[in-house]
C-alpha cells in the first residue's frame, strides 16, 4: 500500500472519534440543528450567509466554536449534493485560519483533510487538471477530451459497493439516449491483471454509439486524483459539462440519471426556443442573428453559468446549419468573452473557427485524388459536370444515411439539373465500404484508401455529413448545407 493510500485509510478511521465529540455538542445546542434543518433547502450561498450570521450572533468564542462545529458537521455529512461547500467555507473561514478554536485537537487533521480533499471539486467549480493512463500506457488528459458530458467514475475491483454500483452504471449507459457523453472509468488501485479483467467483464459490455468509454488508472498515484476530486472512498462519481464545470459529485447511478435527464431536457428546450425564434427571423442573416444574441446577452449576462449555457447551445445550434453565423457567435460571445469560458473551450472554438475559414464560398475547391471500390483513381476536379456535389459521410452515421436518402429520392431532379454526386467515405473500414458500394449503384463512390490525399487538411470534415456544391469550374457555390437546402437551391 502506498503512503497516499495509507493516509486515506487513516483519515477514515479518525472520523468516528470526531462524530462522537460532535454528538455531545449537538445535545447541548439542539436549537442549532433545528435552525439548520429550516434553511437546508436554500441555495448554497444563502446558507453560508445565514450560518455566518448565526455564528456571529453571539460574542462568546466558545459558543461560536460549538455552533460552527455543529454547522460544519451538519453540512459535511449532508445528503444534499453540493452542500459540502458550506462545510469547506466554515473550515477555511473559522477553524483553519484560527479565528475559532477547533473542539478536539486529535481530530483537527480530519478537519484539514476534509477541506483539502473537497475544495477543488465543489459544484460549479472548474474541474482540476487530471492526466491518467489508459491500459496501453498512453496519457489521457480528461479536461482536453472533447465531450458534451464527462462522467468520472472512480472504483476499486475489491470494493463491495462498487460491485453494486458498477452494473447499475453500465446498464444506465447501455440504455442512454441523450447527448453524447464520455465515461472515464478510473481504477484507483495498482493490480493490472485485476483491472484488465474487471474492464472486460464490466465496461466492455456498454454497447451504445452515444457513449464513449475510456478506461484509466494511475498505478503510481502520481496525479493526486484523491485530493483533487475528493476520492476518499470508492465508488466516487462526478459529472462535468462541456466547459469542464463540475455539475454533479458524490453521485450514484440514479442521481446521475436524474441530472442527465435535466441537462438533456434543457438542451432540447434551447433548440425548440431557437427554432421558434428563427422561424420569424432569417437564420442566415448574420446581423439579425447577432441582434437576437445581443438580446440574450442582456438577459443572461449577469449569470456566468446561464451565459455559458445559452451561448454554447446557440453556437452548437448553428455550427452545422451555417458556419458563417456560428463563427460570428463564437467570435463575439466566446473568443471575445474569455472570462466566461474554460481554456479548453477557447482552444476548441479557435480550432473550429480555423476550420470554418477553410474553402470559403467563391473559392476553388481543393482537388482530391481518391479511389473507387475497384482501386481506380479519380481526380474530383477533373470530373466534367455542370455541378458537382461532394458528399462526405460515414456509413454507420444515421444523419449521413438520412441525407443520402433525401438525395436518392431526388435523383431525377439532380440528374436533370446536371448535378454529379460524388459520395466520399471518410472512414477506414474497407469491408464495410465495399459492401456499401456493392449495394448502392446511384452515384460515384470514392474513398482515400492510401491516406495520401490530405483529405482532412483540405476540407473541414470534422463533422459529417458535409456537403459542398461546386459549379462547372469547381468553384464552391455552397457549403455546410443540408440535402433539403441543396434540393431547394438546385430547384431555384
**373, 486: one domain:** yes
Domain that holds residue 105: 3-118
**378, 486: one domain:** yes
Residues 367-379: what's their mean pLDDT? 92
- Provide DSSP, 370-419: EE-TT--EEEGGGS--SEEEEEEE-TT-HHHHHHHHHHHHTHHHHHHTTE
**136, 240: one domain:** yes
Cβ(135)–Cβ(196) below 8 Å: yes
474 in any annotated domain:
yes
- Provide DSSP, 57-113: T---HHHHHHHHHHHHHHHHT-SSTTTHHHHHHHIIIIITTSSS--S-GGGHHHHHH
**174, 237: one domain:** yes
Whether 451 has a pLDDT exceeding 80, the answer reads no
- Of residues 378 and 324, the one with the higher pLDDT is 378
At 31 the pLDDT is 84
Short-list 113, 162, 89, 82, CA closest to 13: 113
Bridge-based pairing of strands 149-155 and 236-241 is antiparallel
For the stretch 105-133, pLDDT in tens is 888 988 998 999 999 999 989 999 999 99
At which of 88, 118, 148 does a domain end? 118
**194, 93: one domain:** no
At 358 the pLDDT is 85
267 in any annotated domain:
no
Reported residue count of the chain is 492
- Of residues 281 and 91, the one with the higher pLDDT is 91
At 30 the pLDDT is 64
Residues 60-69: what's their mean pLDDT? 92
Q: Which three cell numbers stand for residue 97?
A: 485560519
- Of residues 10 and 304, the one with the higher pLDDT is 304
Distance between CA atoms of 82 and 121, rounded to whole angstroms?
10
Whether 17 has a pLDDT exceeding 50, the answer reads no
pTM surpassing 0.75?
no
273 in any annotated domain:
no
For the stretch 460-487, pLDDT in tens is 887 789 999 999 999 999 888 889 889 9
340 in any annotated domain:
yes
**202, 97: one domain:** no
At 20 the pLDDT is 39
Tally of domains in the chain: 4
What's the pLDDT band for 3 if we cut at 50, 70, 90? very low
Whether 452 has a pLDDT exceeding 90, the answer reads no
**474, 390: one domain:** yes
Residues 224-247: what's their mean pLDDT? 94
What's the pLDDT band for 320 if we cut at 50, 70, 90? low
109 in any annotated domain:
yes
**294, 217: one domain:** no
**113, 150: one domain:** no
262 in any annotated domain:
no
At which of 96, 118, 140 does a domain end? 118
69 in any annotated domain:
yes
Cβ(386)–Cβ(417) below 8 Å: yes
**246, 163: one domain:** yes
At which of 89, 118, 147 does a domain end? 118
At 417 the pLDDT is 95
Distance between CA atoms of 18 and 213, rounded to whole angstroms?
39
Short-list 118, 141, 145, CA closest to 241: 145
**109, 175: one domain:** no
Cα-trace Rg, the chain: 28
At which residue does the C-alpha cell 459540502 appear?
Answer: 84
361 in any annotated domain:
no
Distance between CA atoms of 408 and 411, rounded to whole angstroms?
5
We report the CATH number of the domain holding residue 148 as 3.40.30.10
**231, 144: one domain:** yes
Amino acid at each position: 500500500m502506498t503512503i497516499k493510500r495509507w493516509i486515506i485509510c487513516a483519515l477514515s478511521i479518525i472520523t468516528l472519534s470526531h462524530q462522537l465529540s460532535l454528538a455531545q455538542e449537538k445535545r447541548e445546542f439542539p436549537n442549532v440543528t433545528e435552525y439548520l434543518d429550516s434553511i437546508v433547502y436554500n441555495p448554497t450561498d444563502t446558507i453560508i450567509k445565514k450560518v455566518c450570521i448565526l455564528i456571529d450572533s453571539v460574542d462568546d468564542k466558545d459558543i461560536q466554536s460549538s455552533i460552527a462545529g455543529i454547522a460544519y458537521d451538519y453540512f459535511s455529512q449532508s445528503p444534499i449534493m453540493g452542500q459540502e461547500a458550506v462545510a469547506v467555507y466554515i473550515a477555511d473561514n473559522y477553524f483553519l485560519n484560527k479565528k475559532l478554536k477547533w473542539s478536539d485537537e486529535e481530530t483537527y487533521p480530519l478537519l484539514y483533510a476534509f477541506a483539502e480533499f473537497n475544495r477543488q471539486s465543489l459544484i460549479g467549480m472548474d474541474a482540476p487538471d487530471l492526466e491518467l493512463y489508459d491500459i496501453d500506457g498512453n496519457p489521457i488528459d480528461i479536461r482536453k477530451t472533447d465531450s458534451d458530458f464527462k462522467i468520472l467514475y472512480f472504483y476499486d475491483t475489491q470494493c463491495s459497493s462498487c460491485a453494486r454500483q458498477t452494473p447499475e452504471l453500465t446498464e444506465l449507459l447501455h440504455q442512454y439516449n441523450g447527448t453524447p457523453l464520455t465515461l472515464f472509468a478510473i481504477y484507483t488501485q495498482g493490480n493490472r491483471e485485476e483491472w484488465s479483467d474487471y474492464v472486460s467483464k464490466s465496461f466492455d459490455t456498454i454497447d451504445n454509439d452515444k457513449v464513449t468509454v475510456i478506461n484509466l488508472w494511475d498505478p503510481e498515484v502520481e496525479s493526486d486524483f484523491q485530493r483533487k476530486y475528493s476520492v476518499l472512498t470508492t465508488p466516487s462519481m462526478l459529472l462535468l459539462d462541456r466547459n469542464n464545470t463540475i455539475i454533479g459529485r458524490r453521485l450514484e447511478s440514479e442521481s446521475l440519471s436524474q441530472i442527465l435527464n435535466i441537462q438533456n431536457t434543457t438542451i432540447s428546450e434551447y433548440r425548440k426556443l431557437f427554432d421558434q425564434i428563427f422561424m420569424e427571423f432569417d437564420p442566415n442573416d448574420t446581423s439579425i442573428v447577432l441582434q437576437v444574441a445581443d438580446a440574450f446577452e442582456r438577459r443572461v449576462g449577469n449569470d456566468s453559468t446561464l451565459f455559458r449555457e445559452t451561448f454554447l447551445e446557440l453556437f452548437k445550434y448553428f455550427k452545422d446549419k451555417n458556419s458563417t453565423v456560428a463563427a460570428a457567435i463564437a467570435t463575439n460571445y466566446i473568443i471575445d468573452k474569455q472570462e466566461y469560458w474554460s481554456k479548453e473551450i477557447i482552444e476548441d472554438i479557435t480550432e473550429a473557427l480555423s476550420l470554418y475559414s477553410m474553402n470559403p464560398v467563391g473559392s476553388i475547391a481543393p482537388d482530391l485524388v481518391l479511389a473507387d471500390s475497384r482501386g481506380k483513381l479519380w481526380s474530383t476536379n477533373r470530373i466534367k459536370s455542370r455541378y458537382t456535389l461532394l458528399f462526405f459521410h460515414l456509413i454507420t452515421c444515421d444523419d449521413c444515411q438520412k441525407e443520402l436518402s433525401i438525395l436518392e429520392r431526388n435523383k431525377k431532379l439532380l440528374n436533370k439539373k446536371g448535378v454529379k454526386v460524388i459520395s466520399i467515405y471518410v472512414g477506414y473500414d474497407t469491408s464495410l465500404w465495399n459492401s456499401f458500394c456493392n449495394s448502392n449503384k446511384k452515384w460515384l463512390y470514392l474513398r482515400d484508401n492510401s491516406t495520401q490525399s490530405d483529405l482532412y487538411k483540405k476540407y473541414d470534415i470534422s463533422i459529417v455529413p458535409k456537403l459542398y456544391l461546386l459549379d462547372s469550374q469547381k468553384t464552391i457555390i455552397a457549403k455546410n448545407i443540408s440535402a433539403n437546402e441543396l434540393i431547394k437551391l438546385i430547384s431555384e
